[in-house]
Amino acid sequence: MTYHKPSEEARDAGCCSVNFLKYVLFFFNFVFFVGGVAVLGVGIWTIVDKHDYVVLLTTSTYSATAYILVFAGVVVLVVTVIGCCAVLKEDRCALLLYTFLLLLVFLLEAVGGVLAYVYEEQVMAELSHTLTDTFNSKYKMDKEVTSAINRMQKEYHCCGAITYSQWRDSIWLKKNPSIENLVPDSCCKSVTPNCGVRDHPSNIWYDGCIHQLEDEMGRHLILLGAVGCGLSLVQVFGMVLACCLYVKLRDINDY
């Protein structure tokens, strides 16, 4: 069977020619690649920047959302290469694979975005019910939690979950009556060894950490949701373009 190359008239027939669709898809792939780098960057930044505080949460939704977006970002980088090769070679099978992978990325980013928005509404209630108990029962009992609490109190200029006086109920102090500290040293305005022996407002921070942690987590989750849901819409445009090019190439081959 002899293959006849489609005429230029057939390739350029209609309102959307093959060449036009190819150029638009190349441009889409560039935008798609930049979006993938953004998703990957936001996911990694969230994991690295707030890794210590994740141990203070009772659910894994926060970290799961970030990891989903990181995975989606990695997939995007692979998909853009497949897409460029499919468009350049006008390979219909590769275009189908490209469309399927765009759908996969769309689902990953949409799920990550929705999870972030849903959890943003729940994180305040979760922290209100669990943070005080975490401070009182795990400080000095769990190395990761202790490190997270100390970092938080220094970074947010706060002391205790709700108020500094809650440290009097902590297992850390109750099980060690010989300790002179009334609060951890990380509560102090100027952190020095054993500075927590005085809980005067001139020496320690009086505000609890819960509200600042809620605000910080909330902002991160809103950003994750906006990035996930916003960029997932870009994939819809790409899938439509890829399908249009596939149909155009099929029609030309039939012609």
Give 78 or 2, the one with higher predicted confidence: 78
**What value does the mean pLDDT of the chain take?**
84
The mean pLDDT of 198-211, rounded to a whole number, is: 90
Using the CB atoms, write b or e for 159-176: b if 16+ within 10 Å.
Answer: bbbbebebbeebebbeee
For residue 135, the surrounding DSSP H or E stretch is: helix 92-138
* Res. 122 pLDDT band, cuts 50 70 90: confident
At 158 the pLDDT is 93
At 2 the pLDDT is 44
Give 253 or 177, the one with higher predicted confidence: 177
What is the rounded distance in angstroms from the CA atom of residue 60 to the CA atom of residue 55? Answer: 9
At 92 the pLDDT is 84
What is the rounded distance in angstroms from the CA atom of residue 113 to the CA atom of residue 43? Answer: 11
At 36 the pLDDT is 87
At 58 the pLDDT is 73
At 12 the pLDDT is 60
The mean pLDDT of 195-216, rounded to a whole number, is: 89
Place of tokens 């690295």: 48
Give 53 or 7, the one with higher predicted confidence: 53
At 4 the pLDDT is 46
What is the rounded distance in angstroms from the CA atom of residue 228 to the CA atom of residue 234? Answer: 10
pLDDT above 70 covers what percent of the chain? Answer: 92
* Res. 26 pLDDT band, cuts 50 70 90: confident
CA–CA–CA angle 20, 254, 22 (5° rounding): 15
* Res. 1 pLDDT band, cuts 50 70 90: very low
Residues ≥6 apart with Cβ < 8 Å to 106: 232, 235, 236, 239
At 255 the pLDDT is 54
pLDDT above 90 covers what percent of the chain? Answer: 20
At 154 the pLDDT is 93
At 69 the pLDDT is 87
* pLDDT above 60 (res 133): yes
At 187 the pLDDT is 94
At 205 the pLDDT is 92
At 13 the pLDDT is 53
* Res. 15 pLDDT band, cuts 50 70 90: low
pLDDT, tens digit, 9 for 90 and up, residues 65-111:
888 888 988 998 899 998 888 888 888 888 889 989 989 989 988 99
Q: Based on the number of CB atoms within 10 Å of its own CB, is 108 exposed (0-12), middle (13-18) or buried (19 or more)?
A: buried
